[in-house]
Amino acid sequence: MDMAGLTVAVAGLDVVSPVIIPAGPGGFGTELRERYDLTALGAFTAKTITPHARIGNPPPRLVDTGFGLINSIGLQNPGIVAFLDTVYPTLLPFPTHLFLSIAGETVNEFEDMARTLAGVEGFDLLELNLSCPNVEASCGVIGANPQAVHDVVVAVRRAFPDRPVAAKLPFEVPDVAGVVRACEQAGVDVLALFNCPHAARFDVATGKPFLARVTGGFSGPALKPLTLAKILAVRSLTHLPIIGMGGAWTADDVLEFRCAGADLVGMGLHTLQDPAEVCTIAHEFATGSS
């Protein structure tokens, strides 16, 4: 598969490259947009925001696996009001498509945040984080329940009718077909597949887990073959655009994700490790050069 000609149209948005930065590793984008040329990225997704400020999980929050990373951040963020008042104005105009991501514990929380954001200009897509593996609250499991997904999306679509909505689903879903069907029926425009699977590591000297919260979300190149198989399965179930993420590290990885059925490809851990290289890969796709 050739890099050239991979300008992609997703949910009415024309993107210059299939490479995007998913929610989390790039923070809110404040530092990245100051230090790097983001114009060749297909899109940048800001870190998930919640109705109220969250201090996140206690440290340690990260542990290396030798072939990836386990993170347990816990959706640390200032809350939607502070984000819109202090952070968001500093991002605009953003140099590429800007996606915002929200998470709540109830249908009403998702709906209220969506209604607030419906009146905010400057971003192009709203991602519903239905799948964070690092929180105790219900927002960590909504995405595994077809009825819960349906209820959240219907409420969000009612409050946020004019721009695309993406559902970010968990890696572990017992009823994948049911959840995908619920997304379609409720009006989801894009599927973001997938959030990090649960993982753990232990210190053999003490017998205790490395992470304060014991488990976290695993990301890294070792995850790629598992993610590709899951994306392939979902692609057989739906025609909805797919943002694939989980193990993409190189330009060839992006092409593999595309072969499996992804339209856009998120590079998360690589962004954390080397944002400049991710931007370079995106530029190669945007210009058809290598």
259 is catalytic: no
Are 99 and 166 contacting, i.e. CB atoms less than 8 angstroms apart? yes
246 is in an annotated binding site: yes
Give the three-state DSSP class for 230.
helix
129 is in an annotated binding site: yes
247 is in an annotated binding site: yes
Cα–Cα distance measured from residue 246 to residue 3, given in angstroms and rounded to the nearest whole number: 20
122 is in an annotated binding site: no
Q: How far is CA 211 from CA 7, 56, 58, 66, in A?
A: 40, 13, 9, 15
56 is in an annotated binding site: no
145 is in an annotated binding site: no
Q: 197-206 burial by CB neighbour count: b if 16+ within 10 A, else e?
A: bbbbbeeeee
6 is in an annotated binding site: no
C-alpha torsion 219→220→222→227, nearest 10: 60
131 is in an annotated binding site: no
Give the three-state DSSP class for 221.
helix
Are 129 and 152 contacting, i.e. CB atoms less than 8 angstroms apart? no
74 is in an annotated binding site: yes
Q: Which of 189, 165, 181 is nearest to 117 (CA)?
A: 165
Task: Provide the token pair at 220.
Answer: 């890294």
220 is in an annotated binding site: yes
230 is in an annotated binding site: no
Which of the residues 132, 139, 183, 279 is marked catalytic? 132
Q: Which residues carry a binding-site annotation for substrate? A: 47, 71-75, 129
Name the binding residues for FMN.
47-48, 129, 168, 220, 246-247
Catalytic residues: 132
Known binding site: residues?
Answer: 47-48, 71-75, 129, 168, 220, 246-247
